[in-house]
Amino acid sequence: MDADVNADESPGTFRWPRRMPLPALPAGKPDVSGISDEGWGPYLRQRGGEKMIAAARSQAMMLDGLSFPLSLAWILLQESVVSLQQGDVHVVLLGATSKAEVRILQESTYWQELVMLLESRCNIRLHFVGPEISPAKSVEKTGDIHSMQPPCAKRFFMARSDLTPENTICAVFNGGFGNFVSSRRDELFWSWMPDLLFLADSHFMCVFFCAYDYADLKGEVAIHRALGSLFALAPRRNPFAMATVYSGEDDSEWFSGNSFMYATCGSQKSVRHPAMILAAEASDRPQLISAVMKLAEDDEASVELAALPVRLHPSPALKEGASAKAAGYAPESTPSRVTCGEMKAMEGGWRFEVPMSDSSCVEAADLQISDTGLSFVAGGERILVEWPQAVDSTTARASYSSRSSKLVVKVKAQ
């Protein structure tokens, strides 16, 4: 049943051949009453009655495709996990592929289910980002598509200064970067590693879905424990997992797309494993792999949960016909304005200077400093810049120089 896959693509979990069209959904709209821990039954019954239930039983492809938008809808409707407010909420699907998430966008209306389920709370804007995507134009304004090589998240957000942790949620479907605890093949983990650090240090809310618990979920949770990630949602079974289950050659292993899920937002650097920082050098990678393997073997371990739901502060939704520039959104091709700041080396660390008209601008600004970079928002402008090397963010100091009219940030190298 596998779809055609070339040597540069991973087989993935959505393996339906292109020659098989995605089943159409009935007319009408979904209702939030159909999204619950009970899973598919209430949704299908509310959405199309017994006729749709019968269609789902005979066409597993429909459930497999709907698993993507409905899994996200379930999490975004959990008020204990995330607090949404009116406005544009951007959902960035990292690691998206042409044969799964993007195909569902282009060949069906399934992603509209997510948009309609959340429309009374916010305006969902989708972004599909990944290395296994063929460049394409947006489809009916449902989502935009970006073919991008790793590190995808860092590159994408550096080019989109309008997307911030206050208005953006990241989603990773069946990323597989924790699978090496079983397969012993860690290439995928290292391709994800820079982005996992970037997302944790930038405080983006991230939702992860896994195909199975004995490898993917166990490995990913171990990685996040090494990162010191804070969990907005503890690992659990997904009520809207795919219907199709695949088994290995000896039937001792199985996987089903989106079977498990969890969410993170930010991290506690005080509990970050030292090997996570050292792994920037290839020679130190075995130390991190060994640390993650030990964490994965600890069946009694628990994760650190955030005390409060993630609270988003989305930007006002664009009105029909309004330009992105007029509404305060940076055009997609416009990079962050890092040219207005200057990085300088100093003894034992780094100094970053940003021209500011007066100190009152600084007082109203939002400055966030991590071990890997700096985020500065003031007057509707945002600067994102990476440190030339890993730094110790606990040593960071910021001050305003009235003589030079500059904000000065100093930090020591690790």
pLDDT digits over 294-312, tens only?
Answer: 998 886 667 778 767 888 8
What is the CATH class of 338-413? mainly beta
Q: How far is the C-alpha of 376 from the C-alpha of 80, rounded, in Å? A: 29
Task: Taking residues 172-196, report their average pLDDT.
Answer: 90
**172 CB-near residues (< 8 Å, 6+ apart):** 93, 94, 95, 206, 207, 208, 209
Q: Where are the domains of the chain?
A: 32-296, 338-413
Q: Is pLDDT of 36 > 60?
A: yes
> Which one is predicted more confidently, 166 or 280?
166
* pLDDT given at position 23: 93
State how far the Cα of 76 lies from the Cα of 268, in Å rounded to an integer: 24
Residue 363 banded pLDDT, cuts 50, 70, 90:
low
End-to-end CA, the chain? 51
CA distances from 22 to 58, 60, 380 (A): 13, 10, 42
410 has pLDDT over 70: yes
- pLDDT (mean) for 20-45: 95
Q: Which of 48-62, 110-124, 204-218, 243-257 has the lowest mean pLDDT?
A: 243-257
Q: Work out the average pLDDT over 33-59.
A: 94
For residue 32, give every residue at least 6 positions away whose Cβ sits within 8 Å of its Cβ, in sequence order, or none.
77, 117, 120
How far apart are alpha carbons 6 and 1 in whole angstroms?
A: 15
Confidence tier at 183 by pLDDT (50, 70, 90): confident
* pLDDT value for 266: 92
Tell me the per-residue pLDDT of 322-360, one tens digit each, with 9 for 90 and over: 433 333 333 333 333 333 678 888 888 989 888 876 655
Question: Does the domain at residues 32-296 carry the CATH identifier 1.10.1740?
Answer: no
Per-residue confidence (pLDDT) for residue 320, from 0 to 100? 43
The whole-number pLDDT of residue 272 equals: 87
Q: What pLDDT does 328 receive?
A: 33
Q: What is the pLDDT of residue 397?
A: 86
